[in-house]
Structure 1
Amino acid sequence: MNTSSRRSTLTIALCFIVALIEGFDLQSAGTAAAGLRQSFALDPRMLGWVFSASIVGLLPGAFFGGWLADRIGRKKVLVAAVILFGLFSLWTAYVDTYPQLLLARLMTGLGLGAALPNLIALCAEAVTEQRRSTAISIMYAGVPLGGALAAVVAMFAHDHWQLTFIIGGLAPLLAVPLMLTLLPESMAFQRNASATGRASTASALFGERRAGSTLALWLSYFFTLTVMYMLLNWLPSLLIGQGFSKPDAGMVQMLFNIGGALGSLLGGVLLDRCNPLKVVLCIYAGLLAALAGLGLSVGLTAMAAAGFAAGLFVMAAQLVLYALAPPLYPAAVRATGVGAAVAIGRLGSVSGPLAAGQILAAGAGTAGVLLAASPGLVVAALAAMRVLKRPAGEDLALRPTPVQD
């Protein structure tokens, strides 16, 4: 194995580990929801705000994490982000009041948000264009696997919900020395660091005929993340509301995440090897069918199958979007472009848990929540197809010319 291959393999492996920890922390509040509800006497609306507090933090974290990474380096920002969400996840286990809980989740989300665009940029820049989607998919498979680990911890923790946040806080802090020692900085960033200072955010996102593709990408991110985070945070509670026991709900949540890991891997491989338009159509059609299955299934076996399918297709859809973003932007502003797309998507991910809480509080039930999510997925699919159908020459990310003010 030559030096370049070793560097690429090491980057993807370390980013996978960080994504695994990130996935654990992203779903920690959802898997610990029953304990949080009991300890803090939360109604559905209040619990929705707990879920959304971390997601609110993801939005500025993603944008400024990407923007800053194009200026000082992907590795530095990623390490700082991991320290941030590790410390505040740990604090979540020891808060005493509802406002403290919201603050802890907000700051955890800030760190989680800053980490993701840097994980995507590092993996995208570690390999050739032909392997970019696969590299991102391998890294991103860590997110649902981390969520599955969170579900397993919650199943064994029983009423000790604090254990989930203690593990979610210690794991990233233990990973920091490994990252500082072994994680290489992106070569693409090092080559383009001087060009970064001349690139404005507006020109990075909308210059060189990227405006239409950027807006379409944002639209697809928004609606896909609405559904994704609704399921990530509310699935256990929705299942318990349908009459399933807490262990059964935990098992379905675990299958949801295992399906997500498989969907992430398949999404990247299929994008690199098959017709991207057909891949997008199949993924979003499958996600709509899976949502119908979650709403209509009555037995545990059918619900488990629907949960697995929902995880597979929603994570595959998310992976498709993460793979579509990096090629749109030159290396000098790539993290800014990816971070902005992720940040816009977070607006949808804030809406998902809050809307689900409002719909449930109004008495519409699980079917009402899932029905309300379906039209947005159609819009997301059409927007992703618009990005894929951009005219030849609109994607100038591979051209070496730096973006000018």
Structure 2
Amino acid sequence: MKQNHRKSDGRLALTIGLCFLVALMEGLDLQAAGIAAVGMAEAFSLDRMALGWVFSAGIIGLLPGALGGGWLADRYGRKILLLCSVTLFGLFSLATALAWEYYSLLFARLMTGVGLGAALPNLIALTSESAGPRLRGIAVSLMYCGVPLGAALAAAIGMGGITFPWQTVFWVGGVIPLLLVPLLYRYLDESRQFRARRVEDGGASLTALLRPGAVSATLLLWASYFFTLLVVYLLINWLPVLLVDQGFSQGQASQVMLMLQFGAALGTLALGALMDRLSPLAMALLIYCGMLGSLLALGMTSRFDTMLMVGFVAGLFATGGQCVLYALAPRFYQTAIRATGVGAAVAVGRLGAMTGPLLAGKMLAAGAGTAGVMAASAPGILVAGLAVFWLLGRGNRYSEGEAVQQG
């Protein structure tokens, strides 16, 4: 028995480790456009709105990627879809570095987003199903902390400033994922729960997520994902440019982004560990009051040392809160529709992620300052906080998706 237990722990550790490496590259690729923004704008003569579309092209690709990746994974397996998605975003990250004009750049970012979007629901499903209900929260947190650490790696590359050309972050984000593919093929196990409960009749449809008993939890998940990711991606994509507009140098902006991602990594682990220990009200207040306060501080701070601290706190609550959502979603769905349910929630979140950069771009083009952009996020943060409060309050009731039937 002990030997089997150690073997199971070893498989879980290997699964978390491999998924962490993919998440690391996902975080780097998600942050890459923001880090390379100034260089891309100069290379392709982009104004603010054109740059906003470069940011949003990748996010638009995340939407069909998350929906299709989750839906297909519930039919053909989490592992095969993860292999395909990592290959896709690796290849098109390289294509971004090789883009020769504006529309080739947009297409490369769009297809990178499709690969990134398909990867995330499968990372969550593989990790949560390997860990089981008892360890699910901490396992997903350990895996997902690779995303902010990958973004921190992108920020560190950005701190090289004129030492590195803007394409560097995309070369790194393309080559390493392609090197990971054979490792994933050789060492990553398919989910045992998927193998045991594989749907032979074609699988569940998206309508299963909106049936009685499931619809309220699904809609709450969608609301919390939409508004939380709106804020997170506004920060990821526009904060470096906003900081430069406030008078900070590009190197200082990269340092703030680095601190934001370190805060995000700590927040991912800390908030994931607190998820089952604090009351729903305390958890929702902690995440979303912290997020709101740090956003307002980002818009009003003028000292660099204070900005570093505020950036750290913003990352802790914004991305840490996002991780709580990713650990929360698998609780509400059975194995047969888990990747579909998580993928649908991620896709709705990507709509928020797409809206955030475009909204900020329009507000800045209309003359709103950094403080105005940050303050405009407050209503969405309130809605997301209320949704998370209700979800956490009913999480045990829907544990393991017992209330969500495939039908």
| TM, length-normalised to structure 1 | 0.96
Summarize the alignment of residues 153-164 of structure 1 with structure 2, pairs less than 5 Å apart. 153-156=157-160, 158=162, 160-164=165-169
Give the Cα–Cα distance (whole angstroms) in 1 for the partners of residues 55 and 206 of structure 2. Answer: 30
Residues 274-299 of structure 1, C-alpha deviation per residue, up to 9 Å, x if partnerless?
32431121111111110111011110
Give the aligned residue type for 1:169: G
2:174 to 166, 169, 172: 169
Selected match of 2:16 from 12, 27, 32: 12
1:332 touches 1:402 (CA, 8 Å); kept in 2?
A: no
* Counterpart for residue 406 of structure 2: 403
Q: Does 1:134 align with 2:121?
A: no
Matched, 1:79 2:83: yes
Match for 2:374: what amino acid?
L
1:212 to 216, 226, 239: 216
Alpha-carbon distance, 1:393 to partner: 4.4
Q: Distance in 2 between matches of 1:153 and 1:371?
A: 30
Displacement after TM superposition at 1:133 (Å): 0.8
Structure 1 residue aligned with 2:284: 280
Cα offset, 1:208, TM superposition: 5.0
Amino acid at match of 2:378: S
Task: Name the SS of the counterpart of 1:128 in structure 2.
Answer: helix
Residue pairs, 1:97-136, within 5 angstroms = 97-136=101-140
Q: Does the 8 Å contact 2:75/2:203 carry over to 1?
A: no
Identity over aligned residues, as a percent?
53
Distance 2:99 2:255 in 1: 28
- Tell me: CA distance 1:291–1:100, structure 2 relative to 1, closer, same or farther (3 Å): same
Question: Which structure 2 segments of 5+ residues have no match?
Answer: none
TM superposition outliers: structure 1 runs of 4+ over 4 Å: 391-396
Give the counterpart letter for 1:154 in structure 2.
G
1:48 & 1:376 partners in 2: Cα distance?
20
Aligned pair in 2 of structure 1 residues 362, 197: CA closer, same or farther (>3 Å)?
same
Quick one: distance in 1 between partners of 2:204 and 2:73? 13
Letter in 2 for 1:293: A
Q: Is structure 2 residue 375 aligned with structure 1 residue 371?
A: yes
In structure 2, C-alpha distance between the alignment counterparts of 1:375 and 1:262, rounded to whole Å: 26
Deviation at 1:392, TM superposition (A): 6.7
CA contact (8 A) 1:134 1:272 kept: no
The question of 1:49 aligning with 2:58 is answered no
Offset at residue 72 of structure 1 (A): 0.4
Shift of 1:87: 0.3
Going from structure 1 to structure 2, the CA distance change for 1:283 and 1:360 (only over 3 Å counts) comes to same
CA contact (8 A) 1:210 1:394 kept: no
Counterpart secondary structure, 1:225: helix
What residue in structure 2 maps to residue 234 of structure 1? 238
Q: Which amino acid aligns with 1:48?
A: G
* Root-mean-square deviation over aligned CA pairs: 1.5
Residue number in structure 1 paired with 2:255? 251
Worse-matched range after superposition: 148-157 or 219-228: 148-157
Preserved CA contact (<8 Å) 1:79 1:176: yes
With structure 2 as the length reference, what TM-score do the two structures score?
A: 0.96
What is the CA-CA distance between 1:94 and the residue it aligns to? 1.0
User: 1:152 — aligned with what?
Assistant: 156
